[in-house]
Structure 1
Amino acid sequence: MTARTRVAVIGAGQAGLAAAFHLRRAGFEPGRDYMVLDRNPGPGGAWQHMWHSLRLFSPAEHSSLPGRRMPPSRDGFPTAGHVRDYLADYEQHYGLPVRHGVTVDAVRAAGRTGPLEVHTDRGMLLADTVLSATGSWDRPFRPHYPGMRDFRGRQLHARDYRDPAEFAGHSVVVVGGGNSAAQILAEVSTVARTTWVTRRPPRFMPDDVDGRVLFQVATRRIAARAAGTADSAGPLGDIVMVPSVLDARDRGALVAHPPLLRIVPDGVVGADGGVVVADTIIWCTGFRPALHHLAPLRPARDGDHPAVDGTRLVSDPRLHLLGHGDWTGPASATLIGVGRTARDAVARLVAAPTSA
């Protein structure tokens, strides 16, 4: 059976919930005018799958979605579980029409006008507008190095990491120069021999800089671009010094080594030609947008991502992309930043519902 709605939101993580909130505020009736489809069996988006000790970069009071503040966390930097519970509460508090356990396989266009076809494992949904907020958790990225298939140890992506205890007594190579790498290295180094490999020297932020400052910098950059003036905010760095990372620094564990040349059966070979023996390699090398369901639309490209005008897909104005990174709005991949992007996308589709 085919259903029909004005707006279909794909994904019930932070971006999808923020969009649903603004649709509700704009007068859309939940379940009739809009609905949210999410493949997860329960609420929380990707946060329900992340490792237990993962920390946000900002205190809870500066990590909220629109309309409802995140409850305080004990030490100020919420864990993944804290965020998961907050998203579940947010979804319930606003009565958002989320259908969990529904996988979207494809979005298709029967023509250049009319509704889009949202094909799912539960049937087809026709929607005048689609807001795709699928994030990147389902597309972990691993760079290719010679010898990867010959490695006799274990290789896993940060996506699959859960707890340091399983690496006790091992030799672990952590690859990556961002926050995930630093946080995972910080706790694995308490139980294992670790080697940190980065493509360039890691850039640590000042100890007093967290997500609040990053959001303020992003806001100033937006204003500067809008005014056509130069951006005066210089680079702050890549790694926020959350408590576990500060502890690792104090222990001398944050020592980065040059990039890998190749992988050998018993370890890795660094840029200096030396071999580091390893039982495990943890790839903290990021993610790519999970957009396979949009392939039938053949979206026009802008470099390595679909071309967008704001959040709207240039090649099909019936579709918006939310929360994938700065190319879908400054700080739009963050809890505090995605609300503004979702608000603007909803305002645009309300103003021009058939060509938003």
Structure 2
Amino acid sequence: MVVGAGQAGLSASFHLRRLGLDHVVLDADERPGGAWQHRWDSLTMADVHGVADLPDAPAPGGSAERANEVVPAWFARYEAEHALPVERPVRVDRVSSEGDLLVVHAGERRWTTRTLVNATGTWSRPFVPSYPGAGEFRGEQLHTHDYPGPEHLAGKRVLVVGGGASAVQFIGELAPRTDVLWVTRRPPVWRDHFDERLGRHAIELVQERVRAGLPPASVVSVTGLALRPQEQEAARLGAYDRRLPMFDRIEPDGVRWDHPAPGQPAFEPVDVILWATGFRPAVAHLAPLHLRSPRGGIALLQTGADVQTATVAERDPRVQLVGYGPSASTIGANRAGRAAALAVRRYVDSELRGAGDRALA
């Protein structure tokens, strides 16, 4: 059983089929495309930070076409060409354990399976931090998940909150059109270059957290940020000069600092707060399996040299997590999909051997 038909789920399904393992893929969306179909219209293929190839299928290249159309169409072709057994829309509510089997519940429906590959990503769990006064704000509060595009925000004073790649991109397309302020909880880390060695080190740092049973941090929190050519105009306008420090509370017409930086006002009026504050792993349906460590994360076992192939849940080897922690990228999802399929085969083979030994006994 695979839950989720984004990049990680499709990769896992491809490799399970190649290994001759019968399975079904349950996907919550009505159409192919994973989280890509929900991205904002102004995000083009030239804007995305890279889409890795699927097994036996090169990714679409950069272009001015909308990413929320190109990638879903690619996923749909991939499902059809490889006859992947995707069933949709099926929203999994919970996964429980009955003896040696896992039981997957979706409303009144249920499936039993020896193993589960969880590929539910993060898009369905946008994170918005709690701030005093947020409920009294009279303007709009939006999250990356709901970003409507620059046209909707033109002429409004927008406060962008968050220090990740999405915040940088939003500022890049908003600043030439409207008034933008930027605040982050931590100082953003800018980089001049990025190579494979730095990328591998960043992923290893994420894996250290997962191995320790901590919730995974985003890869960008250790890779740093860079401005692309399309963001240079916003930089020229000073949009990336963030306000210091983080505001203390939200008021009906803006945000307030108790101790503003020297020379800065204590209050900034804003029309829109855009929370570019990231996402959390969508794993609540796995709660009945008690996979979390006391430190809040799901520890994964690493069986090879590549940290992106750490997929086996330490507390239950029947469960694989792909697109989680060190494999939370398109290329990592591909590697994890293959690793998960191989781990499923090893587990099933060991169970069948054990059953045979018990029968002989």
Query: Which interval holds the TM-score relative to the shorter structure?
Result: 0.7 to 0.9
**SS of equivalent to 2:274:** strand
| Residues 1:95 and 2:95 are matched in the alignment | no
| Residues 1:289 and 2:276 are matched in the alignment | no
* Residue 222 of structure 1: how far off its partner (Å): 7.4
Distance 1:178 1:96, change over 3 A: same
1:12 maps to 5
1:103 & 1:118 partners in 2: Cα distance? 10
**SS of equivalent to 2:248:** strand
| Residues 1:350 and 2:345 are matched in the alignment | yes
2:248 maps to 261
Q: Deviations over 1:258-302 (max 9, x none)?
A: 212111111012450611101110000011111111122122415
2:350 & 2:125 partners in 1: Cα distance? 30
* Residue 183 of structure 1: how far off its partner (Å): 0.8
Distance 1:274 1:354, change over 3 A: farther
Distance 1:122 1:240, change over 3 A: farther
2:204 & 2:273 partners in 1: Cα distance? 42
| Matches for 1:119-198 after TM superposition, within 5 Å | 119-121=105-107, 123-198=109-184
Give the conservation status (yes or no) of the 8 Å contact 1:10–1:134: yes
The one-letter code of the counterpart of 2:135 is: R
- Of 8, 33, 43, 1:44 maps to 33
* Residue 202 of structure 1: how far off its partner (Å): 1.9
Give the conservation status (yes or no) of the 8 Å contact 1:317–1:355: no
TM-score for both structures, normalised by structure 2 = 0.82
Bigger mean CA deviation after superposition, 154-163 or 36-45: 154-163
| Residues 1:319 and 2:319 are matched in the alignment | yes
* Residue 217 of structure 1: how far off its partner (Å): 3.2
Give the conservation status (yes or no) of the 8 Å contact 1:129–1:354: no
Bigger mean CA deviation after superposition, 127-136 or 344-353: 344-353
2:3 & 2:133 partners in 1: Cα distance? 38
Give the conservation status (yes or no) of the 8 Å contact 1:203–1:239: yes
2:57 & 2:142 partners in 1: Cα distance? 36
Give the conservation status (yes or no) of the 8 Å contact 2:60–2:71: no
| Matches for 1:19-38 after TM superposition, within 5 Å | 19-28=12-21, 33-38=22-27
- Of 314, 328, 331, 1:333 maps to 328
* Residue 355 of structure 1: how far off its partner (Å): 6.5
Distance 1:180 1:157, change over 3 A: same
Structure 1 stretches of at least 4 aligned residues deviating more than 4 Å after TM superposition: 220-226
Count of residue pairs the alignment pairs up: 321
1:274 & 1:295 partners in 2: Cα distance? 43
* Residue 342 of structure 1: how far off its partner (Å): 1.6
Greater fraction strand: 1
1:325 & 1:223 partners in 2: Cα distance? 10
1:78 & 1:353 partners in 2: Cα distance? 41
- Of 295, 303, 326, 1:303 maps to 295
1:166 & 1:136 partners in 2: Cα distance? 25
Give the conservation status (yes or no) of the 8 Å contact 1:137–1:159: yes
1:230 maps to none
2:57 & 2:42 partners in 1: Cα distance? 24
| Matches for 1:77-96 after TM superposition, within 5 Å | 79-96=67-84
Give the conservation status (yes or no) of the 8 Å contact 1:177–1:199: yes
Distance 1:217 1:68, change over 3 A: farther
TM-score for both structures, normalised by structure 1 = 0.83
Q: Deviations over 1:206-246 (max 9, x none)?
A: 2x54xxx3x553446779999xxxxxxxx974224333323
The one-letter code of the counterpart of 1:51 is: W
| Residues 1:66 and 2:58 are matched in the alignment | no
Give the conservation status (yes or no) of the 8 Å contact 1:173–1:195: yes
2:212 maps to none
1:26 & 1:339 partners in 2: Cα distance? 16
Distance 1:251 1:92, change over 3 A: farther
1:191 & 1:175 partners in 2: Cα distance? 18
Give the conservation status (yes or no) of the 8 Å contact 2:39–2:67: no
| Matches for 1:167-246 after TM superposition, within 5 Å | 167-206=153-192, 209=194, 213=195, 216-219=197-200, 237-246=223-232
**SS of equivalent to 1:89:** helix
Give the conservation status (yes or no) of the 8 Å contact 1:300–1:314: no
Give the conservation status (yes or no) of the 8 Å contact 1:44–1:84: yes
2:328 & 2:293 partners in 1: Cα distance? 20
- Of 244, 267, 273, 1:275 maps to 267
